[in-house]
């Protein structure tokens, strides 16, 4: 995943990279053991390339950053939240097609 534009965020950089971002940020709450989360990986890679300059894509590993999962009420994964201006403006739960996620982000832009 070295060539990916996806940010890895956690407790230490969530505020700076997500809440204070000038662009909308699609945040994927995921875990290593989650099959649908792994299937979503290549979709998010493509999406981050297509949205470059317009929006960011970030991932939060809920096993490593359970405080963020609790803070945002994550009940099941994958959960994708779109942040704009420090607030959640859209969300999707479960494996979604790229077009649906792109529309979610563009609706927030």
Q: What does the pLDDT look like over 12-71, one tens digit per residue? A: 999 999 999 999 999 999 999 999 999 999 999 999 999 999 999 999 999 999 999 999
Q: What is the pLDDT at residue 1?
A: 37
Give the mean pLDDT of the chain: 93
CB atoms within 10 A of CB 15: 12
Structure-token pair, residue 1: 């995943």
Q: What is the pLDDT at residue 109?
A: 72
> What kind and span of H or E run contains 36?
helix 35-50
Q: Where are the domains of the chain?
A: 7-108
CATH class for the domain made up of 7-108: alpha beta
Could you list the active site residues?
34, 37
| Rounded Cα–Cα distance for residues 92 and 54 (Å) | 19
Q: What is the pLDDT at residue 37?
A: 96
Q: What is the pLDDT at residue 3?
A: 47
23 phi, psi to nearest 5 deg? -110, 155
Any long-range contacts for 15-18 (C-beta under 8 Å, 24+ apart)? 17/56, 17/58, 18/58, 18/83
What confidence category does residue 102 fall into, taking pLDDT thresholds of 50, 70 and 90?
very high
Q: What does the pLDDT look like over 6-21, one tens digit per residue? A: 999 999 999 999 999 9
Residue 76 has pLDDT above 90, yes or no: yes
């Amino acid at each position: 995943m070295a060539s990916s534009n996806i940010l890895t965020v956690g407790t230490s950089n969530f505020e700076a990279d997500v809440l204070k971002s000038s662009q909308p940020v699609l945040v994927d709450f995921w875990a290593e053991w989650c099959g649908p989360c792994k299937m979503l990986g290549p979709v998010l890679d493509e999406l981050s390339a297509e949205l470059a300059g317009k929006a960011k894509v970030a991932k939060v590993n809920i096993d490593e950053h359970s405080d963020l999962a609790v803070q945002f009420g994550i009940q099941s994964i994958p959960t994708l939240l779109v942040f704009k201006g420090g607030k959640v403006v859209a969300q999707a739960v479960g494996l979604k097609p790229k077009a649906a996620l792109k529309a979610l982000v563009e609706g927030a832009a």
